[in-house]
């Protein structure tokens, strides 16, 4: 009985010891000194500017995309406004009699905003 408990205790403590030993990490100073010694740090000298350049390029791309998106939204808003104006005139025309629509002033007032907004959409 006692032998069994000792054996159990030993097994448990061994498991715990090896688990702790597995958690042990090599200090970062080793890698740093190693790369400095064999001159591998030099690669970082081009890596950092390359990363900075990539960042600037990505930011510019983002800005261009944002501006493009904003322009598109402005065009759409303008088209919508034109469309509303056109609808307003269409409403007015529908309220008028056939003889009244033959006057010269109404036709261009309807056709121009409608064709303009259709072209933009």
Partner 1 sequence: MSIWYRLQVSKNQHGLYALAYQMLGNQLEAEDVVQDTFIKLWQRKEQGVEFEKAWLYKVTRNQCLDIIRRRKHAYEYQIAHVVGSDVARSASDEVLNDELSGEIGKAIKQLEEPYKSLLVMREVNGLSYQVLADSLDLSLSQTKVYLHRARKQLKESLEKSYA
Question: Where do contacts with partner 1 occur on this chain (CB under 8 A)?
Answer: 6-7, 9-11, 13-14, 17-18, 21-22, 24-27, 29-31, 33-34, 37-38, 40, 43
| Separation of alpha carbons 38 and 32, rounded Å | 10
In this complex, which beta carbon is closest to partner 1, that of residue 10 or of residue 61? 10
Helices (runs of H) and strands (runs of E) counted in the chain: 5, 0
Smallest gap, in angstroms, from Cβ of residue 74 to partner 1?
Answer: 47
Smallest gap, in angstroms, from Cβ of residue 75 to partner 1?
Answer: 48
The gap between the terminal CA atoms of the chain, to the nearest Å, is 89
In this complex, which beta carbon is closest to partner 1, that of residue 29 or of residue 99? 29
Smallest gap, in angstroms, from Cβ of residue 47 to partner 1?
Answer: 11
In this complex, which beta carbon is closest to partner 1, that of residue 21 or of residue 98? 21
> Cα dist. 31→17, 38, 48, 114 in Å?
26, 11, 18, 70
């Amino acid at each position: 009985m006692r032998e069994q408990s000792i054996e159990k205790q030993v097994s448990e403590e061994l498991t715990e010891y090896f688990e702790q030993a597995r958690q042990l990490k090599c200090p970062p100073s080793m890698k740093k000194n190693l790369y400095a010694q064999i001159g591998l740090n030099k690669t970082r000298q081009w890596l950092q500017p390359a990363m900075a350049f990539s960042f600037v390029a990505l930011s510019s791309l983002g800005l261009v995309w944002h501006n493009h998106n904003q322009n598109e939204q402005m065009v759409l808003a303008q088209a919508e406004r034109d469309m509303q104006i056109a609808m307003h005139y269409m409403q007015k025309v529908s309220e008028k009699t056939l003889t009244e629509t033959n006057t010269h002033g109404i036709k261009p007032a309807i056709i121009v905003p409608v064709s303009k907004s259709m072209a933009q959409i």
